[in-house]
Amino acid sequence: MRAISWQVSAVDYLINGLLHTMRTNPLDDSNLDEAIGFIARLNQIKAHNIGYLGESALEIAADVRAIQPPEGYGRIMVSDHGQLVGLLGKE
């Protein structure tokens, strides 16, 4: 299994034969609220729940502040339509 580099800035993928590009951007203060909202929405679905974070956006924000992750600890994944579609993080 090959490790994914944190330096990856875009990934191309096919959906129904159409080529799309998914960008990855550093997770930082400028997009943290959007990431917290994304996690809060997914945490309502048991199959996607991140167990060590709360369920509401307020709980998740408090948990993230308590963890105090270092700069560069994660990346957001954004579709070519500008929609947040995923998060990558490391501990």
**Strand runs (DSSP E) across the chain, as ranges?**
10-15, 18-26, 74-78, 84-89
pLDDT at 83 over 80: yes
Which residue in this structure is represented by tokens 């954004």?
Answer: 78
Domains of the chain, by residue range, sit at 10-89
Q: Kindly report the pTM of this predicted structure.
A: 0.71
Which residue in this structure is represented by tokens 């991140």?
Answer: 50
Q: Rounded to the nearest 5 degrees, what angle is found at the Cα of 71, between the Cα atoms of 13 and 38?
A: 50
Question: Higher model confidence: residue 50 or residue 75?
Answer: 75
pLDDT, tens digit (0-9, with 9 covering 90-100), for 16-57: 777 777 888 888 888 889 988 988 888 888 887 777 788 889
